């Protein structure tokens, strides 16, 4: 039987340039997409990068990985039994691809096909109660007979969900750091077991030690891989609620396991139920209410963390199809955009609405500012000013 030439089908011809672009300092998934949209190819985008960063006000040269560096990352990953998957290729998880800020490249350990199966995310607090962990484990075991269980390899509920799922089916861990840096360290063995039948996936390059800022990005991958998110024991203002919020923004179904009001570890999950998430006692409660596809309506928008109302969210996204503005216009737009953005996250739509320049001009300016390290793009099409980088 002839071996199928998998790498030829799943690795794009410009894989190394894609990786170089994705790994360039300050280029998030949104900037990556905009650059490809604007310049048509990774090679041309890479060439344009230094100029854009200078236009955004950057003084130091932009750190673009060399061809050799990118090639080395691919080889290192392969040596560890992993593989890179690329946005737009057949093995890229289709539900994740629906996110506005879907990762351009992800490193995967295990079977990448596990990322494309019908899945439910199961998340919750790290300081979970024994009952909460028991609940997560048995719920995951029951659900894993029908769907892949996605979680974040964290202590507490996440670990219980993976362990439960491994008893009856497959599970996927989305992690914040590099695949060679299991976190927490005591879950190294669990990560290995997950990869044996399912998959471990991350946006981070090898060698990345996970830091606080990586977790919201990891959370959006957890939310994006599943048709729904089940929250077990989440306190108010916890990371699990952020995952739930991101899932809801992506049209995924929300589920929560109720708990006693006397335990603050259930406040967040109870609150989700109060606001419309399905109350979950058994796997059937999830499976019966799990849609076949993500949806954009259904649950009302859940205001988890007092955010500005977003009446313009339904507007079509600005694209580079519009004619680019003149350099003078862009310079003016740049000043106004910087004034409009604060250090707390602002919706891009909001910036466009308040700015007297075209959406295309605003997007161009945001891209330059991001490349210059003066602006950060956050999940949910929001941007924030980075004060420590000058400006």
At its nearest, how many Å lie between a second copy and the CB of residue 256?
9
Strands 171-174 and 199-202: parallel
Binding region for a second copy (CB under 8 A) out of 26-34, 51-59, 260-268, 327-335: 260-268
Q: Within positions 40 to 79, which residues make up the interface with a second copy, using CB under 8 A?
A: none
Q: Within positions 218 to 257, which residues make up the interface with a second copy, using CB under 8 A?
A: 257
Cβ nearer to a second copy, comparing 300 with 323: 300
Return the residue of 9, 41, 66, 282 that touches a second copy, per CB under 8 A: 282
CB atoms within 10 A of CB 73: 22
Residue length, the chain? 391
Residue 255 β-bridge partners:
230, 278
Query: Going residue by residue from 125 to 144, which x/- string records binding to a second copy, judged by CB under 8 A?
Result: ------x--xx---------
Our finding on whether 258 is near a second copy (CB under 8 A) is yes
At its nearest, how many Å lie between a second copy and the CB of residue 261?
4
Helix axis angle, 42-55 to 29-39, nearest 10°: 110
Binding region for a second copy (CB under 8 A) out of 36-44, 269-277, 310-318, 368-376: 269-277
At its nearest, how many Å lie between a second copy and the CB of residue 139?
8
Cβ atoms 173, 194 nearer than 8 A: yes
Our finding on whether 262 is near a second copy (CB under 8 A) is yes
Q: DSSP string covering 38-101, please?
A: HHSSHHHHHHHHHHHHHHTT--SPP-PPPHHHHHHHHHHHHHTTEEEEETTSTTS-HHHHTSTT
CA separation for the pair 327, 315 (Å, rounded): 26
What does the block give as tokens for 239? 């990371």
Our finding on whether 270 is near a second copy (CB under 8 A) is yes
Q: What residue ranges bind a second copy (CB under 8 A)? A: 131, 134-135, 257-262, 266-267, 270, 273-274, 278-282, 285
């Amino acid at each position: 039987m002839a071996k199928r030439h998998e790498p030829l089908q799943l690795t794009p011809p410009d894989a190394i340039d894609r990786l170089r672009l994705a790994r360039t300092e300050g280029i998030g998934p949104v900037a990556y997409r905009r650059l490809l949209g604007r310049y048509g190819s990774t090679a041309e985008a890479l060439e344009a990068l230094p100029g854009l960063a200078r236009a955004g006000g950057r003084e130091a040269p932009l750190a673009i990985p060399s061809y050799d560096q990118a090639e080395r990352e691919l080889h290192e990953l392969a040596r560890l039994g992993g593989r890179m998957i690329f946005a737009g290729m057949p093995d890229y998880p289709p539900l994740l691809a629906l996110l506005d800020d879907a990762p351009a490249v992800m490193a995967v350990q295990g079977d990448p096909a596990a990322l494309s199966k019908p899945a439910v995310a199961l998340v919750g607090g790290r300081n979970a109660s024994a009952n909460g962990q028991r609940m997560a484990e048995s719920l995951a075991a029951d659900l894993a007979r029908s769907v892949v269980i996605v979680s974040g390899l964290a202590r507490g509920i996440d670990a219980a969900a993976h362990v439960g799922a491994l008893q009856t089916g497959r599970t996927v861990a989305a992690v914040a750091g590099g695949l060679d840096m299991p976190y927490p360290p005591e879950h190294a063995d669990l990560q290995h077991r997950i990869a044996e039948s399912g998959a471990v996936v991350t946006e981070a390059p090898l060698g990345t030690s996970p830091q606080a800022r990586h977790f919201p990005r990891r959370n959006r991958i957890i939310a994006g891989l599943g048709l729904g998110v089940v929250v077990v024991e989440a306190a108010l203002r916890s990371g699990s609620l952020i995952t739930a919020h991101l899932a809801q923004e992506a049209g995924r179904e929300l589920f929560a396991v109720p708990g006693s009001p006397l335990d603050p570890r259930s406040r967040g999950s109870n609150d989700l139920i109060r606001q419309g998430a399905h109350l979950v006692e058994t796997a059937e409660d999830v499976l019966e209410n799990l849609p076949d596809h993500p949806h954009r309506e259904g649950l009302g928008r859940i205001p988890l963390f007092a955010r500005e109302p977003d009446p313009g969210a339904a507007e079509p996204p600005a694209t580079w199809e519009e004619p680019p503005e003149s350099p003078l216009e862009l310079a003016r737009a740049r000043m106004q955009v910087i004034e409009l953005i604060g250090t707390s996250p602002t919706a891009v739509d909001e910036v466009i609405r308040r700015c007297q320049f075209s959406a295309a001009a605003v997007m161009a300016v945001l891209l330059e500012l991001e490349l210059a390290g003066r602006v950060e793009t956050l999940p949910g099409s929001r941007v924030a000013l980075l004060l420590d980088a000058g400006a």
